[in-house]
């Protein structure tokens, strides 16, 4: 709904410009020198809105990885899970720094430094899991899901014809890392499931 309203506002502005132009004489219009081709206001507005949305979503994605992984360092039982969690913390802190730089270069607001309510619920769900093999499995499963979401977000923006150059470059740079994290999360999830079954044989 907001996108429709914004685009409609741009259309109203365009109509106002046309109405104003009608007051000019025909001769003046014909003799006016050609003007430079500039991007349509609506297109610029759409690109800006999508760029800021990507910055916000990418920032939240990295914060989820960091906060859940900090919890894993406290509650996970597997050394492999803890090592994976530390890697995510280090990599995603670096990713946020790069995102801030890309956002600044693209004249976008920096990503938020706190989680929104939607993403906070992911952490709260994980916190409720006891510190045992169940936690390890839940953490790994969450990382698989979170990285699937992040990969789609980054791929979609990278392919967007309205993508801002600096942010597209950032998305392209981060995708291999996200894909590697997902592959590792899937391995960890499989190991955690096996550990859980061994600890609780039927």
pLDDT one-digit tens code per residue, 105-122: 999 999 999 999 988 987
Residue with tokens 């839940």: 138
Q: What is the CATH number of the domain that holds 23?
A: 1.20.1260.10
What token pair was written down for 187?
Answer: 């391995």
What token pair was written down for 76?
Answer: 């996970």
d(CA 56, CA 59): 5
d(CA 193, CA 38): 57
pLDDT at 14: 39
Residue with tokens 């009608």: 22
DSSP 35: P
Residue with tokens 């360092």: 73
Indicate left, alpha or beta for 142 from its phi (over 0: left) and psi (-120 to 50: alpha): alpha
Burial class of 147 by CB neighbour count within 10 A (0 to 12, 13 to 18, 19+): buried
> How far is residue 95 from each of residues 88, 157, 178, measured CA to CA in Å?
10, 16, 10
Residues present in the chain in total? 202
What would the pLDDT profile of 10-56 be if each residue is shown by its tens digit? 333 333 334 444 444 444 444 445 444 444 566 678 888 999 999 99
Predicted structure pTM score: 0.74
What would the pLDDT profile of 186-197 be if each residue is shown by its tens digit? 999 998 877 765
Burial class of 138 by CB neighbour count within 10 A (0 to 12, 13 to 18, 19+): buried
Q: Quote the number of domains for the chain.
A: 1
Is 122 in contact with 71 (CB distance < 8 Å)? Answer: no
pLDDT at 142: 93
Range of the domain at 114: 2-199
Mean pLDDT, rounded, for 127-140: 77
d(CA 93, CA 189): 23
What would the pLDDT profile of 59-73 be if each residue is shown by its tens digit? 999 999 999 999 999
């Amino acid at each position: 709904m907001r996108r429709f309203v914004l685009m409609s506002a741009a259309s109203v502005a365009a109509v106002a410009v046309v109405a104003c132009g009608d007051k000019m004489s025909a001769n003046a219009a014909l003799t006016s020198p050609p003007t430079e081709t500039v991007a349509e206001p609506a297109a610029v507005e759409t690109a800006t809105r999508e760029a800021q949305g990507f910055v916000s979503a990418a920032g939240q994605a990295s914060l989820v990885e960091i906060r859940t992984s900090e919890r894993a360092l406290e509650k996970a039982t597997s050394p492999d899970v803890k090592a994976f969690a530390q890697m995510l913390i280090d990599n995603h802190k670096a990713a946020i720094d790069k995102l801030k730089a890309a956002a600044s270069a693209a004249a976008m607001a920096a990503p938020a430094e706190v989680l929104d309510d939607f993403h906070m619920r992911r952490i709260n769900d994980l916190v409720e899991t006891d510190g045992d093999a169940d936690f390890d499995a839940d953490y790994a499963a969450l990382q698989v899901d979170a990285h699937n979401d992040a990969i789609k977000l980054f791929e979609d923006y990278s392919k967007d014809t309205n993508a801002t150059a600096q942010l597209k470059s950032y998305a392209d740079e981060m995708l291999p890392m996200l894909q590697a994290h997902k592959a590792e999360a899937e391995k960890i999830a499989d190991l955690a499931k096996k550990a859980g079954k061994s600890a609780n044989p039927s």
